[in-house]
């Protein structure tokens, strides 16, 4: 492996820390982008305009660039930056659909995971899974 002196070296620990920070920015967008996102009271069920989507994508893109390790963000090629923006547009469009869906406080979760223990019995052909009793 050759070392390029123009690209700063990043340790595995620093890389992992920066990846964790970037992932947190996407998991908690209201914290990372508090200045750019509207409050929940201001959010409407109307679809966002392309200008609002573009503004949100640019805000997220700049947050990613700020949270990326110093020197690494500047080494992204134009194609890589375009790919990051393309993926952010896809993410924002998905979020737009979720935001448009209205929920009341009394709505139950759509999916409840019921974990049941699998039961195996020993047969002449080997262990066989037996369906658990339904309750």
Query: For the chain, what percent of residues have pLDDT higher than 90?
Result: 6
Q: How many CB atoms lie within 10 A of CB 17?
A: 13
| pLDDT tier at 105, thresholds 50, 70, 90 | confident
Q: Cα(29)–Cα(22) distance, rounded to whole angstroms?
A: 10
Could you give the C-alpha distances from 130 to 44, 113, 122, in angstroms and in order? 50, 20, 10
Give yes or no for a contact between 128 and 120, defined as CB atoms under 8 angstroms apart.
Answer: yes
Closest CA relative to residue 71, chosen from 1, 27, 18: 18
**Rg for the chain, CA atoms, rounded:** 23
What's the pLDDT tens digit per position in 62-90?
A: 888 888 777 776 778 889 889 989 999 99
């Amino acid at each position: 492996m050759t070392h390029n002196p123009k690209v700063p070296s990043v340790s595995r620990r620093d890389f992992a820390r920066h990846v964790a920070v970037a992932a947190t920015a996407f998991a908690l967008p209201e914290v990372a982008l508090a200045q750019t996102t509207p409050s929940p009271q201001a959010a409407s069920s109307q679809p966002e305009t392309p200008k609002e989507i573009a503004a949100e994508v640019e805000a997220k893109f700049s947050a990613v660039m700020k949270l990326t390790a110093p020197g690494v963000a500047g080494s992204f090629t134009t194609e890589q930056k375009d790919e990051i923006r393309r993926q952010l547009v896809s993410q924002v469009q998905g979020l737009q659909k979720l935001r448009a869906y209205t929920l009341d406080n009394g709505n139950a979760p759509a999916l409840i995971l019921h974990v049941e223990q699998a039961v195996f019995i020993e047969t002449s052909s080997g262990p066989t899974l037996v369906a658990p009793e339904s309750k």
